[in-house]
């Protein structure tokens, strides 16, 4: 990620707010299972790719069928793109996603000895894999510190006054500045879970939200 400046001044008050928000999230979500069904780094990579502009729930309905057909890059590379496309059609963007799944599987076989690469640079070089997808794989499959930020986390960070970034890249940089590095992998999942339960984009009851009732 290019060097950026934070979109705010990191004051003591902001540090205290962030610590309080993190304490609320830790209390509500001490355990943070990965929402997407997967078996290993490869199936997680494919599942995250499928989740673009699609709900995790829908991906979890579709991915078992895909992985029953092929759950490793060697087998997936042999599946016709049209067959992949037909299976994943309910996830949306199936023409692009099916080509990406097929091509990245072939690249993993040809360039990475059949193993999902364990670096941002190599992951982001794969078809259909952007920084957010690479961040999820690096953090959840390999345990490297990362803070995957999607549009939902971007929205919540702005709502809670933790970032005034104009895009997810700036928001990611801001959140990494505010929160301890050893909390990033868990925290991004906690924010996702919290947003679904208490802080939706529409129909949000501020007074019933444990964070927005204090900071929203």
Contact 198, 209 (CB under 8 A): yes
Contact 83, 54 (CB under 8 A): no
132 is catalytic: yes
Catalytic residue among 17, 132, 176, 186: 132
Catalytic residue among 17, 97, 150, 174: 150
115 is catalytic: no
Written in H, E and C, the secondary structure of the chain is CCCCCCCCCCCHHHHHHHHHHHHHHHHHCCCCCCCCCCCCHHHHHHHHHHCCCCCHHHHHHHHHHHHHHCCCHHHHCCCCHHHHHHHHHHHCCHHHHHHHHHHHHHHHHHHCCCCCCCCHHHHHCCCCCCHHHHHHHHHHHCCCCCCCCCHHHHHHHHHCCCCCCCCHHHHHHHHHHHCCHHHHHHHHHHHHHHHHHCCCCCCCCHHHCCCHHHHC
Nearest to 57 by CA among 97, 98, 99, 90: 90
Q: Which residues are catalytic?
A: 132, 150
């Amino acid at each position: 990620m290019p060097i950026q400046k934070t979109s705010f001044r990191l004051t003591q008050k902001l540090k205290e707010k962030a610590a309080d928000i993190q304490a609320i999230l830790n209390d509500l979500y001490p355990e943070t299972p990965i929402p997407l069904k997967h078996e290993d780094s490869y199936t997680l990579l494919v599942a995250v790719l499928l989740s673009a502009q699609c709900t995790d729930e829908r991906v979890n309905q579709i991915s078992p069928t895909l992985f029953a057909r092929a759950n490793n890059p060697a087998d997936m590379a042999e599946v016709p793109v049209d067959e992949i496309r037909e299976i994943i059609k309910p996830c949306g963007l199936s023409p692009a996603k099916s080509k990406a799944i097929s091509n990245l599987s072939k690249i993993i076989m040809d360039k990475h000895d059949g193993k999902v690469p364990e670096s941002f640079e190599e992951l982001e070089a794969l078809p259909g894999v952007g920084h957010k997808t690479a961040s999820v794989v690096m953090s959840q499959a390999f345990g490297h510190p990362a803070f995957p930020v999607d549009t939902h986390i971007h929205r919540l960070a702005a709502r809670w006054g933790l970032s005034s970034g104009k895009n997810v890249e700036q928001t990611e940089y801001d959140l990494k500045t505010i929160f301890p590095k050893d909390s990033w992998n868990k925290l991004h999942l906690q924010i996702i879970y919290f947003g679904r339960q208490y802080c939706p984009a529409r129909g949000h009851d501020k007074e019933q939200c444990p964070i927005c009732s204090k900071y929203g």
